[in-house]
Amino acid sequence: MHDLTYLRDLVIILGLAVAVVAVLHRLKIPSIAGFIIAGIIVGPGALALISDISKVELLAEIGVALLLFGIGLELSLERLKRLWWAVIIGGLVQVGLSILIAFGVASLMGYSARTSLFIGFLLAVSSTAIVLRGLETRGELDAPHGRLTLGILVFQDLCVVPMMLAIPLLSGGDASMGDLLKTLGNAVLVIVGVLVAARFIVPHVLHFIARTRQRHLFVLSVLLICIGTAWVISRAGVSLALGAFLAGLVVAGSEYRQQALADMISFKDVFTSIFFISVGMLLTPANVINNIVAVLLLLAAILVGKFIVVFITATIMRLPLRACVLTGAALAQVGEFSFILMNGARGTGLLTAALESNLLAAAILSMLITPFLLAFGPHLAAGVGKIHFLTRLLNVKTADDIAVAKGKLNDHVIIGGFGFAGKELAGALKDCGVPYLIAELNTETVRRAVKDGEPAYFCDITDHEVLEMLGVKHARGLVIVINDPGAVERAVRAARSASSSIRIIARTNYLLDVKPLLDAGADEVIPAEREAAAGIVKTILNRCEIDSAVAGDKIASIRKKVQEDFHD
């Protein structure tokens, strides 16, 4: 009967979640918020359809592990190495400032030094699950603010380990600093050992499994690597979720990364949804209503305080104003690891029952608001971007240098973004003697480009003023090849409002983004999906030794069909 009760609870959770999310979707409310709301409804604080949350917590923990495993699969260790500056510098500044400010405010409110420091721990971390899911859905993980956000989240997750180990010290337990350092050292050794072993063992294991051509065996093997690695690392005091993230990084280094990612999508989405529902189940509406003033003040302090801290961090990292605002909006909430820290401190006296209840309510409400903040971020960035004295104060773009270049250039091409596509275009224009300017948000990319003699500038092409400094009214064309879908659309609108005659060409990843960009004023949109389809058709027809003229007609028809579909 116990198993049947567990199954009944699962049916109730999933059934209500499907109904709530489907209804809220019609109201354009993000699915993550819908899952949290479903959890509030089904939980013990509302309808009490599920009275024992512990039954759901295991599935929720697996959900977070699978989510971070999937994120790790998409990153790989090589890609993470390129984010070291965001992880170390950005993460250190954000976590350090958050703890320092929270400690100061809590101390002024009369809390002890130990409690104040612990409150700083709770408020320093953000929701890895919600933020990465939101950025992943919006296609912004590779955007400048997405890269910094990811780096800070990785650092926060790593900080949870020493924070957990510090709880006995803060609570006045028997643990000593030597015990803390010893446990931390063991955790580091286990992580390094697992990564080194997996680096050399996992690719061979997956290759052996793949040769059997048994897909179910491959899926089981990937799950084993994910949960097994996470469990081994968790035994050293590291969170299960962080262990799964590291396991994903390991598998991402093999040639079976894409297959593993495809096989894990269904598992990841289902269990992650259960996690968001479990977060909602922790909230008791009656407690919020009874302490509404305290909870709302605490919520406002968290959102505003963390936004300012992250904004300052992004500014120090030399991101443009728009990216600073988007990063601040993404990380303004309290994360799921705060719940783990609260559980670890339960019974130690670090938090009173009233304070813990208010912190829990404010944390969940901040997570509920996050999907809306991610959606509202671009509008907020646009509003802040109009505060010219702030952009000059932060020195987020080299306006003088651009103005000088503008006087020397006419009938030039503006290249927005200097990734692979931007570099290839710049090389082709240089070979053909066509003048051009490069606008890029990555400071390291700009430094390397300038060192190579390229006319590259650190600036934001979504800004109307910047486009004018780039000489948009006298330019031959604007080509936008950046990885932030929202920024692409804003850049198109800004360029079209600045010049009605300039030809605007934009690249996007998906066909669904073509029409919005055309409506925004782009003359031509090149979707990566279309080019991938054309490339696949060309490769297969060539291998089948089809006449080159026939193959060319087929490829041309693919491009023409997509273009006609969105221009009609």
Residue 177: per-residue pLDDT: 65
Contact assessment for residue 310 and residue 131, using Cβ atoms and an 8 Å cutoff = no
Residue 561: per-residue pLDDT: 63
* Tokens read off for 345: 């401190």
Q: 397-522 has which CATH code?
A: 3.40.50.720
What would the mean pLDDT of 252-266 be, rounded to a whole number? Answer: 71
Q: Residue 385's beta-bridge partner residues?
A: none
Q: How far lies 130's CA from each of 33, 279, 364, in Å?
A: 10, 11, 11
Q: Residue 438's beta-bridge partner residues?
A: 415, 456
* Tokens read off for 129: 């699950």
Given this chain, do its domains 2-389 and 397-522 carry the same CATH topology? no
So where are the chain's domains?
Answer: 2-389, 397-522
How sure is the predictor about 302, in pLDDT bands with cuts at 50, 70 and 90?
A: very high
Q: For 16-43, how does the pLDDT look when each residue is reduced to its tens digit (9 = 90+)?
A: 888 888 888 787 777 888 888 888 888 8
Predicted confidence (pLDDT) at residue 143 exceeds the cutoff of 90:
no
What would the mean pLDDT of 156-177 be, rounded to a whole number? Answer: 76
| H or E, element range at 518 | helix 514-520
Question: In terms of pTM, does the model score above 0.85?
Answer: no
Distance CA(225)–CA(202), nearest Å, equals 8
Residue 296: per-residue pLDDT: 95
**Residue 242 vs residue 222, higher pLDDT:** 222
According to the 3-state scheme, what is the secondary structure of 278-310?
Answer: HHHHCCCHHHHHHCHHHHHHHHHHHHHHHHHHH
Highest mean pLDDT among 64-78, 294-308, 512-526: 294-308
**Residue 13 vs residue 267, higher pLDDT:** 13
Q: For 52-94, how does the pLDDT look when each residue is reduced to its tens digit (9 = 90+)?
A: 677 666 766 776 777 777 777 766 666 667 778 888 899 999 9
Q: For 327-364, how does the pLDDT look when each residue is reduced to its tens digit (9 = 90+)?
A: 999 999 998 888 878 877 888 889 998 999 999 999 99
* Tokens read off for 37: 């709301």
Within 10 A of 508 (CB to CB), how many other CB atoms are there? 25
Contact assessment for residue 310 and residue 335, using Cβ atoms and an 8 Å cutoff = no
Q: How far lies 202's CA from each of 22, 64, 198, 254, in Å?
A: 40, 22, 5, 8
CATH topology (fold) of 2-389 = Na+/H+ antiporter like fold (1.20.1530)
Contact assessment for residue 270 and residue 65, using Cβ atoms and an 8 Å cutoff = no
Residue 464: per-residue pLDDT: 79
CA dihedral over 386, 389, 393, 397, signed as positive or negative: positive
How sure is the predictor about 428, in pLDDT bands with cuts at 50, 70 and 90?
A: very high
Q: Which of 77-81, 207-211, 401-405, 527-531 has the lowest mean pLDDT?
A: 401-405
Mean pLDDT of the chain: 81
Predicted confidence (pLDDT) at residue 562 exceeds the cutoff of 60:
no
Residue 175: per-residue pLDDT: 57
Residue 566: per-residue pLDDT: 57
